[in-house]
Amino acid sequence: MVKDTKPLAYAANNGYQQKGSSFDFDPSAPPPFKIAEIRASIPKHCWVKNPWRSLSYVLRDVLVIAALVAAAIHFDNWLLWLIYCPIQGTMFWALFVLGHDCGHGSFSDSPLLNSLVGHILHSSILVPYHGWRISHRTHHQNHGHIEKDESWVPLTEKIYKNLDSMTRLIRFTVPFPLFVYPIYLFSRSPGKEGSHFNPYSNLFPPSERKGIAISTLCWATMFSLLIYLSFITSPLLVLKLYGIPYWIFVMWLDFVTYLHHHGHHQKLPWYRGKEWSYLRGGLTTVDRDYGWINNIHHDIGTHVIHHLFPQIPHYHLVEATQAAKPVLGDYYREPERSAPLPFHLIKYLIQSMRQDHFVSDTGDVVYYQTDSLLLHSQRD
């Protein structure tokens, strides 16, 4: 009797490895499709950028923020402040996402409009627009690459072992990593040099220096305005209206961006050398469901297609993802459904921080490893 080898060939060609009589999907296996096939599966209208629609989201968010400020000042009681701060911080995060679209050029086809709106939105929440835009472009161009990626890059074992024990504990113990974004803007990640504010930083080519200087000036203007307002009103009022919401925005940013690349129940690969490609790196990103927050933060959790095609406007990402899923197959990881608020994601953040500490200094396909000593200290 001749054994049918077609199922074995199909499995091997679609990212599966045989273990005994069963097959396990291997996310590091080269995908059996090209990026052009994913692109072709996405409806043409999903690529169309409507500046008026984009501006309508800006207007919506700004009106909500203004209404929250007016209500907080008018009623001025401790119960309202407890409600105001997390909601306003979430709205700051929504502004960041719209500025993020400007940085990708998915806000409109006009570079001038993108730059103008991006500067206004990001400066208002103390983000240097061009500095962030360029480093974020580097992140997208090199996603999943150990040496060249820019966002939540794994530490190599050598760099990790050179960290003192307190730095390790703080870096991998929740909630401390949720407050690192401002530090990253000034000094980047361990093992990397440069600042998002310095036009001469090695983050930027010489041709970008003027834009970096403009964004740094806008950031300094906003920071100075906050200092001025604290003098003519009161530092406590500015802290409540802006300071605490700002740190909640930072927590959202670090929480969401980390979980886009970490915390999946199946460990996902990181690449270097010849094993890396734009497609393979992009397929290591993870979609997340944020419940009610999906609409508020402009579907930023729909992240795989965004990473592969950042030109697609946020309001088309869900449809584009649904269209691409038949091509992606098991390389697309269906997000766990969320309750109205995404508390379920906290456990994945904590698990990842306890287990994903460093990657090997060698090898072109690597996975996170765990420092058992740090893991025990986190549990104690």
**Token pair for residue 54?**
């984009």
- Do residues 147 and 272 touch, judged by C-beta distance below 8 A? yes
Grouping H, G, I as helix, E, B as strand and the rest as coil, residue 37 is: helix
pLDDT digits (tens, 9 = 90+) for 321-367: 999 999 999 999 999 999 999 999 999 999 999 999 999 999 999 99
**CA 248 – CA 91 distance, rounded (Å):** 10
**CA 101 – CA 117 distance, rounded (Å):** 10
Number of residues that make up the chain: 380
Q: Which of 191, 171, 179 is nearest to 353 (CA)?
A: 171
pLDDT at 70 over 90: yes
pLDDT at 380: 62
pLDDT at 376 over 80: no
- Give the bridge partners for 359, in sequence order: 156
pLDDT at 190: 77
* Maximum Cα–Cα distance across the chain: 90
**CA 297 – CA 303 distance, rounded (Å):** 12
- Do residues 104 and 303 touch, judged by C-beta distance below 8 A? no
**Token pair for residue 8?**
């074995």
Q: Which of 67, 63, 74, 91 is nearest to 244 (CA)?
A: 91
pLDDT at 4 over 60: no
What is the full DSSP assignment across 243-269? IHHHHHHHHHHHHHHHHTTS--SS---
**CA 185 – CA 166 distance, rounded (Å):** 21
DSSP 23: E
pLDDT at 35 over 60: yes
CA-to-CA dists, residue 42 to 79, 100, 290, angstroms: 47, 22, 23
pLDDT at 80 over 90: yes
Q: Where are the domains of the chain?
A: 50-376
pLDDT at 12: 52
Q: Tell me the pLDDT of the chain averaged across its residues.
A: 92
Q: Which of 124, 137, 115 is nearest to 214 (CA)?
A: 115
**Token pair for residue 105?**
């050029």
pLDDT digits (tens, 9 = 90+) for 135-164: 999 999 999 999 999 989 999 999 999 998
pLDDT at 154: 94
What is the pLDDT confidence band of residue 191, given thresholds at 50, 70 and 90?
confident
pLDDT digits (tens, 9 = 90+) for 206-243: 999 999 999 999 999 999 999 999 999 999 999 999 99
Q: What is the dihedral of CA 203, 206, 210, 211, to 10 degrees?
A: -40
What is the pLDDT confidence band of residue 372, given thresholds at 50, 70 and 90?
confident
**Token pair for residue 7?**
């199922």
State if pTM tops 0.75. Answer: yes
What is the pLDDT confidence band of residue 25, given thresholds at 50, 70 and 90?
confident
- Do residues 138 and 103 touch, judged by C-beta distance below 8 A? no
**CA 97 – CA 297 distance, rounded (Å):** 7
Q: How many Cα atoms within 13 Å fall on the side-chain side of residue 315?
A: 15
% of the chain at pLDDT higher than 90: 86
Grouping H, G, I as helix, E, B as strand and the rest as coil, residue 377 is: helix
Number of Cβ within a 10 Å radius of residue 52? 7
